[in-house]
Every structure is written in C-alpha cells, then in structure tokens.
C-alpha cells in the first residue's frame, strides 16, 4: 500500500519530541541565521549536492577496511551491486550516506527502521541527481554500554495491546558492550514473543527472518545487523562499531584525540555555552564518558588521569583496545568513511551543532546533517476504521485521543447527542437566571453556597447526559474491540511509538511487502525535506 496519509506536522512534532528540540526545528526550518552559520544546511540545491558528492581519492577507504567491509557485508547476503559499490568506495569512486544506532532488542524500535529507510532513500536520491554511486551505510553501535536503553522490545498483539519483553539483567554486566550480549539471551527473549508475532498476518515472514538472524548471529550485535540487513533485502551496508579494522583505520585520529582530549572537551563545552547564549541547549556535557575508553576483559573501562601514560603506551601497541565515546565515534565515522551526509535525529543534530569546532580542530570534514524520517505506523485495522468513519488518520500522530473520540462519536445516536447538548445548554441558562433572581437578596456567603450547589447539579447532569457518548463508545468497541488498545499503541506515557514499538511492527502487519511502503514513506520524506518541509508520514502496511 502507499502511505495512508502524510502531512507537515512541525508543531505537533515539537510537542512530541520534547522541550529540547527548538534547535532541531530551527535547523530544519532554517529559521536561525546563527544556527545556520554553525551547522550549515541540509536543504541544498542540486548543484551543491553535486559539488559535495564529487568522488576522488581523498574519500577512499583503506584497503584493509574495504576488504573487511566486503567480507562482512557478504556474510549478511549483500548482493553484487552493493559489494561493487563498497569496492568503488575503496577506490574513491563512490560516496557514503551514513546513519547508525546501538543494537536494540530484536532489532530495536521503529525509529531505527525509519533512520535506515531515510538513509537508503537519500543515497538513492543523491546517486540519481549526481550520477555518483552512493552507499547507504548503517553503523551498528555494538560497543555502546547503555543496557537499560536497549533491553526492552514491544510488539502489538493481534488485539493491538502492547506486549513487552526484555533481555534479562543476568545476561549483561556493567561496562559490557551491549553488542556482546550472548545470542542465547536474544533467543530467550524472542521465544517469549514469537507465538504472538506468528499470529499476525505477516507473522510467518517476521518469524522466519528473526529465526534466521538469531541462527546466524554470534551475539546481540550480529543478530541486530542480520535483522536490519534482512528487512532491507541487503540494500543497506553495515559496519559493527567493535570492528578492529575500523579502529586500525582510525589509528592516528584516535591517538591524536587521546592526546588532545582536554582541549576537545573545552571546545565542546564552549560551543555548548555559545548555543545556550542564543537560546538553545547544550546536548553534550563532556565528562569521563566523552573520551577514549579501554576494552579489557570484555568490558569498557574509563581512563583515569593517573593511568593516561600507561594507557597511551598500550594504545600505541594495540589501537584495537580503544573504544570511543560519543564525540570520538562521530569523528571516526566521518574520518574513515567521509560521508557526504549523515541521517540523524534531533539529539544527534544537537551533538553536531556542539561539535563543529572539534571537527575543524581535528581536521575532519563535517558531512551534511540530514533529518531522519519521522513516521507513524497504523495497523490495517485502524486504517480501515479511519476509512469507514472519516476519522483523520493524521490525528494518530498528532493526538490519538481525538482520533478515538471521533470514532466513538460517530457511533453515537446524533439525535440523542443533540438533545443532550440542548439540555445542557438550557440548564446552564436557567441556572444562571435562577442564581441571578434568587440570589440577588442573599448575603454573599449564602449566594456562594447556592452557586456551588448548582455547579454540583451541573456536574451530575453531565454524567447522566454523557451516557449518549458511553453508548457510542460501547457500540464502537463492540464492532472494533481493538480500539481499546489504540492509545497505548501510538503513544506510551507521552512517548511516541517510534521510540518503543519494535521495528518489526510494520512487517507483522504487512509481511515482506511492508518494505515497499517504508521505502515510499522515506522517499516522500526526502523529497519534502529537500523542498524545505518537515514531513511526518502516517502509513499502513
């Protein structure tokens, strides 16, 4: 199916994404000259994209990394076209468009799917307008250690109630990269969800893909990479952040960063202060988690001040023990792959705004920061309700409660509802007249008591009259019982479904064909963004 509907929803997105997204919306809307001077623009004319995408030896990967990328992606079923493009990138004849995320349980949330889809679509678009082969690349941040952020996954049941499962805390230790979580832990989680997944229309496809990914993946990071590759049919290249070849390719950069860590943190802090002075926020607060960590005994350790001399010697001897924090990770990615663009969410774009001075200081070219796809996935059953009742599907992204209430209202008796509304208005008028006539000669205290009694009667009357809506709700739920779960499917505790609902969800509803719908949504996002509009897509598979 084509996307169910699409609208520009900048204002609702501002509310949905939180109070710290002013910088993001000013960036995508190009409304701040100061911010544009810091970050530049993603909304570039075609001639500017052609200029930035020009191939050349300055953008080539090392031979070792090229060989690793070919081998690694071949293991994930990348076809001859993708492998050929990777080899061209190794010669400086192709360019990268990059995104990434730490591996989440059974692939991670919908947000990951939407980031990857936007990356594939942007790479395809840039290749079409420039004639230069572009490789969409997903960086699997398996070296991240934030277990609490990635351990849970949520899928909808056939009744659309949310079903949550988590990786056991017994399967992770503090400091352990989340990508290193044993495959058996993911198998255990999946076994608890698989029967519910299988019951969906696209369940057979999803179960087969996840089972194959778990069978092929040695650990959580590898399983996540397998799932992403399979859902995209091998149309996106992959790199694991734990790759020893990756760190070897960035050896000089890592050593330079380690020597200048204090200076870099100062630059980031000063840029954060500058952003705050013009009304934005500082996304990064450089601390011990911002620099270079050391991998030892399967865990990531912070480098203390008194151990820096010893660690420096160890890094000189074996750079593969280095594990980058958030600042260095971005620098490594953009130094090694020289992407023409990176596809990012609001927090990541805020990182970039605070790191521009670091890029200049380290001599790394900063790519274009392109906003990711924002989208809402509507189950076919809810899409059908929208079609039958005339409910606005965009409200599923803007205000799902209003969507549900509209449906309930359509099932109410219009005559009864009109009568209730007239009764309520008439009572309010007569109550006001009575209070004015009877209370005119009363002491203020007694008049206040009378007013409160009338308000109490009004509240009781509302409860009685609201039975017209209750009947409508009962009729709607009798016909469409899954409406009871609609609110928790689209937003949970104020968090949009993109951040907690599994990336498997569209495929549960639509099977393999969901990939086509996701691609259409991403293509619409790319074209709208390049026209200067932020698009929020509501789609159904």
CATH number at 191 reads 3.40.50
**Which helix H or strand E contains 486, and what residues bound it?**
helix 486-490
- Tokens found for residue 356: 């521009």
Instruction: Name which of 46, 70, 83, 135 is nearest 340 in CA terms.
Output: 135
- Residue 507 inside a domain? The answer is yes
Rounded CA-CA distance 19/250 in Å is: 36
pLDDT surpasses 70 at 500 = yes
Give the predicted TM-score (pTM) of the model: 0.89
494 CB-near residues (< 8 Å, 6+ apart): none
Rounded CA-CA distance 23/323 in Å is: 29
Residues 433 and 449 in one domain: yes
How much is the mean pLDDT over the chain?
A: 90
Residues 209 and 140 in one domain: yes
Quick: pLDDT tens for 365-388: 999 999 999 999 999 999 999 989
- Residue 496 inside a domain? The answer is no
Rounded CA-CA distance 268/527 in Å is: 33
- Residue 4 inside a domain? The answer is no
Q: Residue 12: which pLDDT band, with cuts at 50, 70 and 90?
A: very low
State mean pLDDT over 469-494: 86
State mean pLDDT over 475-491: 90
Q: Residue 424: which pLDDT band, with cuts at 50, 70 and 90?
A: confident
Residues 392 and 484 in one domain: yes
Q: Residue 468: which pLDDT band, with cuts at 50, 70 and 90?
A: low
Residues 245 and 109 in one domain: yes
Give the pLDDT score at 413. Answer: 58
Q: Residue 171: which pLDDT band, with cuts at 50, 70 and 90?
A: very high
| C-beta neighbour count of 29 within 10 angstroms | 14
Give the pLDDT score at 13. Answer: 41
Residues 259 and 228 in one domain: no
Give the pLDDT score at 518. Answer: 94
Give the pLDDT score at 14. Answer: 43
Q: 272 lies in which domain range?
A: 253-324
Rounded CA-CA distance 12/538 in Å is: 13
Rounded CA-CA distance 184/387 in Å is: 43
- Residue 37 inside a domain? The answer is no
Quick: pLDDT tens for 340-370: 999 999 999 999 999 999 999 999 999 999 9
Residues 81 and 141 in one domain: yes
**Which helix H or strand E contains 19, and what residues bound it?**
none
Total domains present in the chain: 3
Q: Residue 450: which pLDDT band, with cuts at 50, 70 and 90?
A: confident
Q: Residue 7: which pLDDT band, with cuts at 50, 70 and 90?
A: very low
Give the pLDDT score at 467. Answer: 61
- Residue 279 inside a domain? The answer is yes
pLDDT surpasses 90 at 444 = no
- Residue 494 inside a domain? The answer is no
Give the residue, 208 or 520, on which the prediction is more confident: 208
Give the pLDDT score at 411. Answer: 77
- Residue 458 inside a domain? The answer is yes
Q: In what order do the strands lie in the sheet with 134-140?
A: 237-240, 134-140, 95-101, 341-344, 368-371
pLDDT surpasses 50 at 8 = no
Q: Which residues pair with 540 in a beta bridge?
A: 378
Strand, helix or coil for residue 378: strand
Give the residue, 230 or 4, on which the prediction is more confident: 230
Residues 342 and 465 in one domain: no
Q: Alpha carbon of 262 to those of 44, 256, 266, 305: distances in Å?
A: 35, 12, 6, 11
Q: What are phi and psi of 535, to 5 degrees?
A: -105, 130
Quick: pLDDT tens for 73-116: 999 888 899 999 999 999 999 999 999 999 999 999 999 999 99
Quick: pLDDT tens for 174-227: 999 999 999 999 999 999 999 999 999 999 999 999 999 999 999 999 999 999
Rounded CA-CA distance 64/495 in Å is: 42
Give, in degrees to the nearest 5, the angle at Cα 303 between 301 and 304: 125
Residues 478 and 401 in one domain: yes
Quick: pLDDT tens for 271-322: 999 999 999 999 988 875 568 999 999 999 999 989 999 999 999 999 999 9
- Residue 27 inside a domain? The answer is no
**Structural Rg of the chain based on CA atoms:** 27
- Tokens found for residue 316: 């000189």
Q: Say if residues 364 and 335 touch (Cβ distance below 8 Å).
A: yes
Residues 419 and 440 in one domain: yes
State mean pLDDT over 434-438: 82
Give the pLDDT score at 291. Answer: 84
> What is 275-334 written as a DSSP string?
HHHTT-------STTSSEEEEETTEEEEPPGGGHHHHHHHHHH-GGGEEE-HHHHHHHHH
Residues 340 and 318 in one domain: no
State mean pLDDT over 320-329: 94
Residues 308 and 320 in one domain: yes
Residues 156 and 220 in one domain: yes
Rounded CA-CA distance 63/191 in Å is: 41
Q: Residue 415: which pLDDT band, with cuts at 50, 70 and 90?
A: low
Give the pLDDT score at 451. Answer: 83
State mean pLDDT over 394-400: 85
Question: Pick from 307, 324, 341: which residue ends a domain?
Answer: 324
């Amino acid at each position: 199916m084509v996307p169910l509907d699409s609208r520009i929803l900048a204002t609702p997105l501002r509310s949905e994404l939180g109070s710290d997204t002013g910088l993001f919306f000013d960036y995508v809307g190009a409304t701040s000259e100061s911010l544009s001077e810091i970050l530049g623009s993603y909304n570039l004319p075609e001639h500017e994209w052609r200029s930035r995408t020009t191939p050349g030896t300055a953008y080539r990967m090392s031979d070792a990394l090229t060989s690793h990328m070919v081998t690694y992606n071949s293991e994930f079923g990348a076809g001859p076209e993708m492998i050929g493009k990777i080899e061209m990138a190794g010669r400086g004849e192709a360019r990268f468009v990059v995104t990434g995320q730490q591996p989440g349980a059974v692939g991670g949330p919908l947000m990951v799917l939407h980031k990857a889809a936007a990356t594939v679509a942007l790479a395809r678009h840039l290749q079409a307008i420039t004639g230069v082969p572009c490789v969409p690349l997903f960086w699997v941040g398996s070296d991240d250690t934030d277990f609490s952020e990635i351990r849970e996954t949520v899928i909808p049941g056939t009744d659309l109630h949310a079903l949550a499962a988590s990786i056991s805390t017994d399967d992770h230790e503090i400091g352990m990269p989340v990508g290193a979580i044993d495959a058996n832990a993911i198998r255990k989680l999946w076994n608890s969800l698989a029967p519910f997944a299988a019951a969906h229309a696209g369940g057979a496809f999803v179960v087969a893909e996840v089972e194959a990914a778990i069978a092929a993946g040695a650990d959580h990071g590898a399983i996540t990479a397998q799932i992403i590759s399979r859902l995209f049919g091998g149309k996106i290249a992959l790199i694991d952040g734990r790759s020893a070849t990756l760190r070897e390719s960035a050896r000089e950069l890592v050593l330079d960063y380690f020597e200048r860590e204090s200076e870099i943190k100062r630059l980031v802090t000063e840029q954060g202060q500058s952003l705050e002075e013009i009304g934005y926020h500082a996304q990064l607060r450089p601390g011990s988690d911002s620099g270079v960590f050391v991998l030892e005994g399967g865990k990531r350790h912070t480098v203390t001040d008194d151990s820096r001399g010893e660690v420096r010697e160890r890094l000189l001897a074996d750079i593969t023990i280095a594990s980058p924090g958030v600042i260095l990770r971005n620098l490594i990615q953009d130094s090694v792959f020289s992407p023409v663009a990176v596809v990012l969410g609001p927090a990541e774009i805020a990182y970039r705004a605070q790191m521009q001075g670091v890029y200049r200081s380290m001599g790394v070219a900063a790519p274009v920061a392109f906003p990711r796809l924002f989208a809402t996935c509507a189950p076919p059953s809810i899409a059908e309700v929208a079609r039958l009742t005339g409910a606005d599907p965009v409200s599923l992204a803007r205000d799902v409660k209003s969507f549900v209430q509209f449906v309930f209202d359509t099932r109410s008796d219009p005559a009864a509802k009109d009568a209730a509304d007239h009764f309520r208005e008439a009572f309010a008028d007569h109550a006001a007249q009575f209070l004015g006539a009877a209370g005119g000669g009363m002491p203020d205290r007694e008049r206040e008591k009378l007013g409160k009694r009338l308000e109490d009667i009004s509240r009781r009357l509302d409860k009685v009259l609201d039975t017209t809506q209750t009947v409508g709700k009962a009729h709607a739920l009798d016909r469409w019982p899954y409406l009871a779960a609609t609110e928790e499917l689209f937003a949970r505790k104020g968090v949009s479904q993109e951040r907690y609902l599994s990336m498997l969800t569209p495929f549960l509803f639509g099977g393999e064909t969901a990939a086509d719908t996701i691609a259409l949504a991403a293509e619409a996002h790319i074209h709208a963004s390049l026209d200067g509009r932020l698009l929020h897509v509501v789609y159904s598979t």
